[in-house]
């Protein structure tokens, strides 16, 4: 196992509470934000329904005009947002997924929202998700949705072959063996070879803490004991061909459509995505709590997004009003799910009834899938922190995942390599790395 490492934040800041003090990355002196709650707001997002949200806001807020601009997802988007901040052409409101938030905050690319929206975040959101946007004692974003883990399974297949829905990871392994025995072409799970998100969530659920912050440092532990436990388990499932190794969502959905994938770990958003993608399997699927190591409730998040005001925004006052509406107002939440099938789970628990009411349960035989997601949300392990070089961390993992699928590398070794790569990248960016 790697020796534990810690990394001081960039720009030689004296304390984590000075997360962006003195940091570069803005490219020019940012314009002083205005406190006005009127005027024009530019809005960048790749999230489904963003256009409907902007239109609904404009209808109900005549003093603010939001102009929505669709942007690509993934690293292309984050590069675009970075360049816009540097060039002084940043939007007033932008989406940032939770894993990428520390990187943007630590590089000085975001407005500090502690005074404007910090009290709202403290009042409306549970600790596990609040900790993802409150960094160094400051608030950098407002959560939009949560993505608690769930288990999707083919109820008809399990019933026909007398397979029990697993509640522990030991039972899950037994289930995968029973699935393959019942149908040699079927599998009871998937391991993605091009996406580290699920592996990260499973490490989080096991109790791993890849990044921790102290008074003035980051502690990097991608291969801590809980993470290695989860990685060894899933690596063994893949090596023994008990779960399907797939390279992207396209072959994954093909496996579902062709009855090859009959169970898989996902998140709350999967209920809607599944229904929309495989409509002809109506009545065959159900949702269950994600298995745990000891049978007691424990969860993590696989996905989720927040909204920020980039550094240099022209109208931060009106931007804050827009962010507040789209994350904590019932009408704003209705607008998110008005554009089609969605099982979006609001990060604000008070708004769950809004999205739940809009979700048709017929596909799942009337099952209350939101109740499963709510229990999972309540069981998310607190204390998880994303790191300051997420792009580099994710790339290091993804580059090695195909080797796990073909048996030429172990999953715990992938985490160890990713830790070394992460620390090296932090050094390269001027962050001091020291032994604990």
Task: Tell me the per-residue pLDDT of 91-101, one tens digit each, with 9 for 90 and over.
Answer: 999 999 999 99
pLDDT given for residue 339 in this prediction = 74
The pLDDT score that the predictor gives to residue 405 is: 84
Could you tell me if residue 365 is inside a domain?
A: no
Q: pLDDT tens, 85-141?
A: 999 999 999 999 999 999 999 899 999 999 999 999 999 999 999 999 999 899 999
- In a domain? residue 237: no
Distance CA 413, CA 14 (A): 34
Sequence-ordered list of residues with C-beta below 8 angstroms from that of 294, at least 6 positions apart, any chain: 168
Which residue range is the domain that position 84 belongs to?
31-144+304-360
Q: Is residue 106 part of a domain?
A: yes
Q: Is residue 228 located within the same domain as residue 291?
A: no
**Is the alpha carbon torsion for 257, 202, 157, 362 positive or negative?**
negative
The two structure tokens encoding residue 187:
């599998």
> Residue 25 above 50 pLDDT?
no
In a domain, 373, yes or no: no
Q: Do 308 and 296 have their domain in common?
A: no
pTM of the model: 0.91
Residue 136 lies in a domain: yes
Task: For residue range 383-398, list pLDDT tens digits in order.
Answer: 899 999 999 999 999 9
Distances (CA, A) of 156 to 164, 261, 367: 12, 13, 14
**Domain membership flag for residue 374:** no
SS3 track for the chain: CCCCEEEECHHHCCCHHHCCCCCCCCCCCCCCCCCCCCEEEEEEECCCCHHHHHHHHHHHCCCEEEEEEECCCCHHHHHHHHHHHHHCCCCCEEEEEHHHHHHHHHCCCECCCCCCCHHHHHHHCCHHHHHHHEECCEECCEECEECEEEEEEEHHHHHHCCCCCCCEHHHHHHHHHHHHHHCCCCECCEEECCCCHHHHHHHHHHCCCCEEECCCEEEECCCCHHHHHHHHHHHHHHHCCCCEEECCHHHHHHHHHCCCECEEEEECCHHHHHHHHCHHHCCCEEEEECCECCCCCCECECCCEEEECECCCCCHHHHHHHHHHHHHCHHHHHHHCCCCCCCCEECCHHHHHHHHHHCCCHHHCCCCHHHHHHHHHHCECCCCECCCCHHHHHHHHHHHHHHHHHCCCCHHHHHHHHHHHHHHHHHHCCCCEECC
Tell me if 376 is assigned to some domain. no
pLDDT tens sequence across 412-433: 999 999 999 999 998 888 877 6
Q: Looking at the structure, tell me whether residues 156 and 254 fall in a common domain.
A: yes
Q: What's the structural domain count of the chain? A: 3
Return the number of other C-beta atoms located less than 10 Å from residue 59's C-beta: 10
Token pair belonging to 108: 């000085």
pLDDT band at 313; cut points 50, 70, 90: very high
Is residue 174 located within the same domain as residue 258?
yes
Position 24 scores a pLDDT of: 43
> What does the radius of gyration of the chain's CA atoms come to, in whole angstroms?
22
- Say whether pLDDT at 23 is over 80: no
Question: In the chain, what is the straight-line distance between the N-terminal and C-terminal CA atoms, in Å?
Answer: 15
**The predicted structure's pLDDT at residue 213:** 73
210 and 336 fall within a common domain: no
Residue 380 has pLDDT above 60, yes or no: yes
* Short-list 37, 66, 78, CA closest to 310: 78
Region 322-347: mean pLDDT is: 93
Residues 278 and 324 in one domain: no
Q: What is the pLDDT of residue 433?
A: 63
The CATH number covering residue 59 comes to 3.40.190.10
Share of the chain above pLDDT 90, in %: 81
Tell me what pLDDT residue 158 has. Answer: 98
Same structural domain, 182 and 199: no
- Same domain, yes or no, for 157 and 256? yes
Q: Is residue 366 part of a domain?
A: no
Q: What is the pLDDT of residue 434?
A: 56
176 with 276, same domain: the answer is yes
Average pLDDT, integer, range 355-363: 94
Q: What confidence tier does 35 reach under pLDDT thresholds 50, 70, 90? A: low
Query: 212-233: per-residue pLDDT in tens?
Result: 876 677 889 999 999 999 999 9
Of the pLDDT bands very low, low, confident and very high (cuts 50, 70, 90), residue 10 is: very low
Q: Structure tokens of 71? A: 């942007």
Distance CA 416, CA 412 (A): 6
200 pLDDT more than 60: yes
2: confidence class by pLDDT, cuts 50, 70, 90: very low
Q: Are residues 83 and 126 in the same domain?
A: yes
Q: What's the pLDDT score for residue 17?
A: 40
Q: Are residues 156 and 248 in the same domain?
A: yes
Of 72-81, 209-218, 287-296, 363-372, give the lowest mean pLDDT range. 209-218
- Each residue of 243-266: pLDDT tens digit? 999 987 789 999 999 999 999 999
How many whole angstroms from its chain centre is CA 254? 24
pLDDT at 356 over 60: yes
Over residues 189-200, mean pLDDT = 93
With beta carbons less than 8 A apart as the criterion, state whether 274 and 200 touch: no
329, burial (CB in 10 Å: exposed 0-12, middle 13-18, buried 19+): middle
Q: What is the mean pLDDT of the chain?
A: 90
């Amino acid at each position: 196992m790697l020796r534990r490492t810690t990394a001081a934040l960039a720009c030689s800041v004296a304390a984590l509470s000075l997360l962006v003090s003195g940091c570069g990355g803005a490219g020019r002196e940012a314009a002083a934000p205005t406190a006005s709650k009127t005027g024009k707001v530019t809005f960048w997002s790749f999230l489904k329904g963003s256009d409907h949200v902007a239109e609904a806001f404009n209808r109900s807020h005549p003093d603010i005009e939001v102009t929505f601009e669709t942007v690509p997802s993934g690293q292309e988007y984050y590069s675009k947002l970075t360049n816009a901040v540097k060039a002084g052409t940043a939007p007033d409101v932008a989406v940032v997924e939770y894993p990428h938030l520390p990187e943007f905050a630590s590089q000085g690319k975001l407005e500090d929202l502690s005074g404007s929206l910090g009290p709202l975040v403290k009042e409306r959101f549970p600790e596990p998700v609040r900790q993802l946007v409150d960094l160094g004692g400051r608030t950098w974003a407002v959560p939009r949705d949560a993505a608690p883990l769930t288990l999707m399974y083919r109820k008809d297949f399990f019933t026909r072959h007398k397979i029990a829905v697993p509640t522990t990871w030991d039972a899950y392994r037994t289930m995968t063996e029973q699935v393959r025995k019942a149908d040699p072409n079927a599998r009871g799970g998937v391991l993605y070879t091009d996406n580290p998100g699920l592996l990260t969530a499973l490490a989080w659920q096991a109790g791993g803490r890849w990044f921790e912050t102290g008074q003035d440092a980051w502690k990097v532990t991608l291969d801590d004991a809980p993470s290695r436990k989860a990685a060894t388990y899933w690596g063994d499932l893949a090596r023994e061909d008990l779960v399907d190794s797939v390279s992207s969502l396209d072959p994954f959905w093909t496996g579902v459509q062709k009855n090859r994938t009959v169970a898989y770990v996902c998140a709350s958003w999967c209920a809607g995505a599944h229904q929309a993608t495989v409509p002809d399997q109506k009545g065959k699927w159900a949702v269950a709590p994600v298995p745990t190591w000891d049978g007691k409730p424990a969860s993590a998040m696989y996905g989720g997004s927040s909204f920020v005001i980039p550094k240099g925004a022209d109208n931060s006052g009106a931007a804050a009003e827009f962010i507040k509406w789209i994350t904590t107002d019932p009408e704003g939440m209705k607008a998110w799910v008005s554009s089609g099938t969605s099982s979006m789970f609001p990060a604000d628990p008070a708004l769950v009834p809004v999205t739940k009411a809009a979700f048709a349960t017929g596909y799942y035989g009337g099952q209350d899938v939101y109740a499963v997601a709510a229990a999972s949300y309540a069981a998310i392990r607190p204390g998880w922190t994303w790191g300051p070089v997420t792009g580099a961390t994710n790339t290091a993992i993804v580059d090695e995942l195909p080797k796990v699928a073909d048996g030429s590398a172990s999953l715990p070794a992938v985490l160890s390599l990713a830790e070394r790569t992460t620390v090296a990248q932090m050094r390269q960016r001027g962050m001091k790395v020291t032994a604990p």
